[in-house]
Amino acid sequence: MSPADDGSWWTAWPTVIVAVVLVLLPGWLLARAWGVRGVAAPAAAPALLL
């Protein structure tokens, strides 16, 4: 990898971190609120929509 590639990768890190947090935070909050059901609900939701 060239220095330019390293620079673009590190520039993208904040975006990657924000995206991961936005994806994981709702599931984590549901797990905190509902316990085991909070973990299962996000996995079951797509099946319920079918």
pTM of the model: 0.39
The residue among 48, 34, 12 whose CA lies nearest residue 26 is 34
Range of the structural domain that residue 37 is part of: 3-49
Q: Which pLDDT tens digits describe the chain residue by residue (50 residues)?
A: 455 566 666 678 888 888 888 888 887 777 777 665 555 666 666 666 65
Query: Are 31 and 15 contacting, i.e. CB atoms less than 8 angstroms apart?
Result: no
Whole-number pLDDT of residue 37: 58
Whole-number pLDDT of residue 30: 75
DSSP assignment letter at 50: -
Whole-number pLDDT of residue 25: 85
- Domains: count for the chain: 1
Give the position of tokens 């059901």: 37
